[in-house]
Amino acid sequence: MTSSSTQLSALRGMGIYEPFHQISSWGDTFRGDGSLNVGSSTIVPVDTGINDKTEYVSQDSMEHSRSDQESNRPTDKIQRRLAQNREAARKSRLRKKAYVQQLESSRLKLVQLEQELDRARQQGIYISTTAVSGHLGLPGTLNSGITTFEMEYAHWLEEEHKYVSELRTALQAHITDIELRILVENGLNHYNNLFRMKADAAKADVFYLISGKWRTSVERFFQWIGGFRPSELLNVLMSQLEPLTDQQLVDVCNLRQSCQQAEDALSQGIDKLQQTLAQSIAEDIANAGSYRAQMAAAIGNLEALEGFVNQADHLRQQTLQHLSRILTTRQAARGLLALGEYFHRLRALSSLWAARPREPA
């Protein structure tokens, strides 16, 4: 074995030959004229040192940073919108909490006054219910269910005023149909809440509800079985929703006809109930012994009145729902705005009527 072979064997044994052999093979990549003869199989990745790594890392970081900024732009907008929604939800919870506290305070005050009234009655002392109701700011009633309804209805009117203002602003700002659809659904739910409140009030005192004492004088002038007549409101709204397509006109006419038929049926039912009630009270009026039986029968007949009020509200609710499906989103929004403005003007007219100057007698 020659000296060079001995050295190669020693290098192989130490694991150093292969790198050296690789370096020696690089010489083949040069042509005779000294230029590079690079092929895809001869490119070998080489560690260029710490400085080169730092340069590559810095450049990659800058590219990633720019990419993150571009990708975060819509994310930042979403985060701002979510933050605004959270703030609006927080304020809504605070308003609801304050309203619940107000209801609880009023309920406790009512319970206290009812207890005082019971003690006064036991002692044989007469207390005017008008005076007690005036202390509560109520129109002559001590029914806790009606008291709750009156406070809830006052809050409903405040929310109605805010909703109408928000809807008017949204229509003027020309927001998207998706955002407008949310406002329409909120408006329909707002009226659904009123129908729910009225159903609870009907259980407490259906005569109070149907008499319309919770409404202004001009509103009561248009009242039909505890609320508005759907067919008449359709006539009011149609002029605010033009232009309508031919199919929409047909659908609205069919809806109005269905409303009128249902209204006639309910009105006939109310008339029949009045006749039955009058006859049951008038029968054998000279016979004092049947008085209690007659009153019991009359009470049974009056219980049907609650069902009529609930059916009338159901008709009103279904009319609003069907109309919103016939109209486009923007038309439905305009319709709800016109409905809110209509009731607002009725209440304003009542205030003007009450404050009108009167000639001295």
In order, the DSSP letters of 63-77 are HHHHHHHHHHHHHHH
Backbone angles phi, psi at 126, to 5 degrees: -90, 130
More confident residue, 222 or 52: 222
Ranking 8-17, 173-182, 279-288 by mean pLDDT, the lowest is 8-17
pLDDT score, position 11? 42
Domain around 264: 144-355
Tens digits of residue pLDDT in 143-195: 888 999 999 999 999 999 999 999 999 999 988 999 999 999 999 999 999 99
pLDDT score, position 96? 76
Q: Would 171 be classed as within a structural domain?
A: yes
Q: Would 334 be classed as within a structural domain?
A: yes
CA distance 335 to 320: 10
Residue 59's contacts (CB-CB under 8 Å, 6 or more residues apart) are: none
CA distance 192 to 92: 19
Residue 351's contacts (CB-CB under 8 Å, 6 or more residues apart) are: 216
More confident residue, 132 or 146: 146
More confident residue, 278 or 311: 311
pLDDT score, position 66? 53
pLDDT above 70 covers a percentage of the chain that reads 68
Q: Would 232 be classed as within a structural domain?
A: yes
Q: Would 66 be classed as within a structural domain?
A: no
Tell me what the mean pLDDT of segment 230-240 comes to: 91
Has residue 316 got a pLDDT over 70? yes
Residue 331's contacts (CB-CB under 8 Å, 6 or more residues apart) are: 241, 244
Tens digits of residue pLDDT in 41-73: 333 444 444 444 444 444 555 555 555 555 556
pLDDT score, position 45? 42
pLDDT score, position 303? 85
Q: Would 110 be classed as within a structural domain?
A: no
More confident residue, 182 or 121: 182
Q: Would 164 be classed as within a structural domain?
A: yes
pLDDT score, position 265? 97
As for how many domains the chain has, the answer is 1
Q: Would 240 be classed as within a structural domain?
A: yes
Tell me what the mean pLDDT of segment 277-290 comes to: 72
CA distance 78 to 278: 66
More confident residue, 90 or 1: 90
Q: Would 309 be classed as within a structural domain?
A: yes
Q: What is the pTM of this model?
A: 0.61
pLDDT score, position 113? 66
pLDDT score, position 298? 80
CA distance 316 to 194: 11
326: nearest Cα among 247, 234, 257, 258: 247
Query: Mean pLDDT over all residues of the chain?
Result: 77
Label residue 103 by pLDDT band (50, 70, 90). Answer: confident
